[in-house]
Amino acid sequence: MLKPFIRLCVVSLFATSTMSFAQAGADTYKSKCQMCHAADGSGDTPAGKSSKVHPFSSPDVVKMSDDDLVAITKKGKGKMPAYAGKLTDAQITDVVAYIRTLQKNR
C-alpha cells in the first residue's frame, strides 16, 4: 500500500518541479528573448525579421540538441548576442526547456 503512495508523491514532486522550471524559463524568455524571437518563437518581430531569426519550429532548429541550443545561447550566433555571464547556466537550461514547449505548440 505504501509503494503506490510513494510513486504518487514522486510523480507529484516531478510535475511540480517541471512546472516551476517551465515558468522560470518562460519568465527569462519573456525578458531576454521574446523581443527578437516573438512570444510564440516564430521570430515574427521587427528585430527578428531584421536579424533573420530562424523560427523555433523550423526543421534546422527542431533537430538541434538541447546542448546545441545551450551553446548558441551562451556563445551567440550570427546577430544573436552571447548570454554567458548575463544568464546563469540554470536560466539558460530553463529557457531551452521553454523553447521546446513552444516547438510542441506549433
What domain range includes position 55? 2-104
CATH number, domain with residue 17: 1.10.760.10
- Residue of 106, 90, 100 whose CA lies nearest to 21: 90
Under 8 Å CB-to-CB from 83, ≥6 apart: which residues?
Answer: 32, 73, 74, 76, 92
Q: For residue 15, is pLDDT > 70?
A: no
Q: For residue 19, is pLDDT > 60?
A: no
Which pLDDT score, from 0 to 100, does residue 23 have?
82
Domain count for the chain: 1
Which pLDDT score, from 0 to 100, does residue 10 have?
43
pLDDT averaged over every residue in the chain: 85
pLDDT digits (tens, 9 = 90+) for 41-88: 999 999 999 999 999 999 999 999 999 999 999 999 999 999 999 999
